[in-house]
Every structure is written in structure tokens, then in C-alpha cells.
Amino acid sequence: MTPWVGVVVPAHDEEELLADCLAGLRAAAGAVRDRARVAVLVVADACSDRTEAIARRHHVGVRRLAARNVGRARAAGAATLLARRIPPVWLATTDADSVVPRDWLSAQLAARDAGADAWVGTVAVTDWAGLPHPVRHHYRAAYDDGGSGDAHRHVHGASLGIAAEAYRAVGGFPPRATAEDVALVAALDRGGYRVLRDRAHPVVTSARTDGRAPDGFAGHLRALTRHVMPASPGSPPSTPLEPAAGSRERPDRARD
């Protein structure tokens, strides 16, 4: 029997960006159609715009939620998919403001076939419009942490996959408004599961600074902007850049 792969996309008022996200997932699903069936589920969390209508126009599943909490949204989406009569063997998750590459699911299934319990990808920003040029330079310098080969130390809910069995075993995504992805991967590491870190298939994500999760990726970009821009006369000196929640599994190191 052809296995199922479930993809969870949490979304809070994402009418402007969701269509591109779903187009990317449609291409990624097409690339594995000879190996797996793919079910995409948008979790419309406290949406007041056309997010749900756009998802339905793209013929993907929709679950409504009113939590305004990305951890609860990811967990609710995973629970919905796992409750199917024939549940998925693998769960993947991305964000509504991100576009996965065509080989995104192929890479995850290859990792599964090689014995991995989870796959942790990276993100890339291609449109820096509206942000000062130094932000781009400092972001990339910090993000390229010098890991050998494809290994890296980042964790992003925008590029993450996990075997359904391992997901259940560690209790799934915690109900956190930020860093639910970091907590999940940390639980896998503690449990001795095989987690493959792969930087070869980055997901293109938004460089917006009005993000949906508090202290998430957008918050990190805001903090980075404050850190790298010269202070105005009379302003106090800038403080060291604080870690951004929800982007790496090691809270003692500067986050992406």
C-alpha cells in the first residue's frame, strides 16, 4: 500500500502569502507521487481574513482553530491527520509564509528510508526588501555556523519532518506560542531518536518583521535590525543580540 505523508501548515491571517506556500507544496507532492500520497492540512487559527477560502480553493484540507498559538495549531493539525482511518506514516510541517523547494518531501522520504526518525531542514531569505543591508550580512554570517557537510544546528517549524511513530512517542508539539518546534526536536534528541539535520534543501521564508509568533523568526529580524543599525546621537549603546525563540534547539547559542 502506498504510504501517506501528512503536511501541517499553521496559518493566522495569511491570505497574502498562503497561495504561494500551497503552490510549493503541490510541486513537492508531485515530485513524490510515485512513492507516497500527500495530504496537506491548513490549520486556520483565529483567522479573520480569506485564509480558509484560499486553502479550499487550492483543494487542501482545513481545520479551524481559535487558539492563536502556533504550537497548538501544529499539534491540532497533526492530531487531525493521525486520526484518519489510514494515518500518515510521516508528518511534515512548514509555515504559511514559506515556500518549500520541489525536492523537500523527496529529501524527507529519503531520510526515512535511510532509517531517520526525523528530518530538520533550514530556511533561506531571498527578499530582504524593507530591511537595512547590514541585516542581511549579519544574518547570513550568524546562520552559516560552520557545521561540516549538511549538518547544522537550526530548528524551524517551516522545514521539519518526523515519523508518526516517533511523534506520538515524544508527545508531539507542545502547546507553546513560540519554540514548539525546538521543544519537539529536543525531546527527540533526549529520547535517542535519529534526527537528520539537512541544509541542502532550504525553504524560502519571509523576511517580514510583523510575524505571527511572538519572539519567533520575525522577532529575531527586528532584534537584529536594532543591533546592527547605528544608534542615534544620545541613544544608549546597543545591547548584545538576544536569542530568538523557536529557531534553534540550543538556547545557549545565538539563534537564527
- Domains of the chain (ranges; CATH) run 4-228 (3.90.550.10)
State the Cα angle at 201 between 193 and 225, rounded to 5°: 100
How far is the C-alpha of 78 from the C-alpha of 125, rounded, in Å? 27
Q: How many residues are there in the chain?
A: 256
Element (H, E) at 134: helix 133-143
pLDDT digits (tens, 9 = 90+) for 1-42: 899 999 999 999 999 999 999 999 999 999 999 999 999 999
How far is the C-alpha of 98 from the C-alpha of 201, rounded, in Å? 13
> What is the pLDDT, as a whole number, of residue 207?
67
What burial letters (b/e) apply to 182-195, b meaning 16+ CB within 10 Å? bbbbbbbeeeebeb
> What is the pLDDT, as a whole number, of residue 226?
59
Instruction: Considering only residues 210 and 233, tell me which one the structure prediction assigns the higher pLDDT.
Output: 210
| Burial tier of 115 (Cβ tally within 10 Å: 0-12, 13-18, 19+) | exposed
Cell numbers linked to 207: 523576511
Global pTM? Answer: 0.82
For residues 187-205, average pLDDT: 96
pLDDT digits (tens, 9 = 90+) for 91-113: 999 999 999 999 999 999 999 99
How far is the C-alpha of 212 from the C-alpha of 216, rounded, in Å? 8
State the Cα angle at 143 between 108 and 210, rounded to 5°: 90
| Cα-to-chain-centroid distance, residue 68 | 17
How far is the C-alpha of 118 from the C-alpha of 105, rounded, in Å? 12
How far is the C-alpha of 198 from the C-alpha of 221, rounded, in Å? 23
Q: Is the pLDDT of residue 247 over 50?
A: no
- The mean pLDDT of the chain is 84
| DSSP classification of residue 165 | H
How far is the C-alpha of 229 from the C-alpha of 132, rounded, in Å? 8
| DSSP classification of residue 93 | E
- % of the chain residues with pLDDT over 70: 74
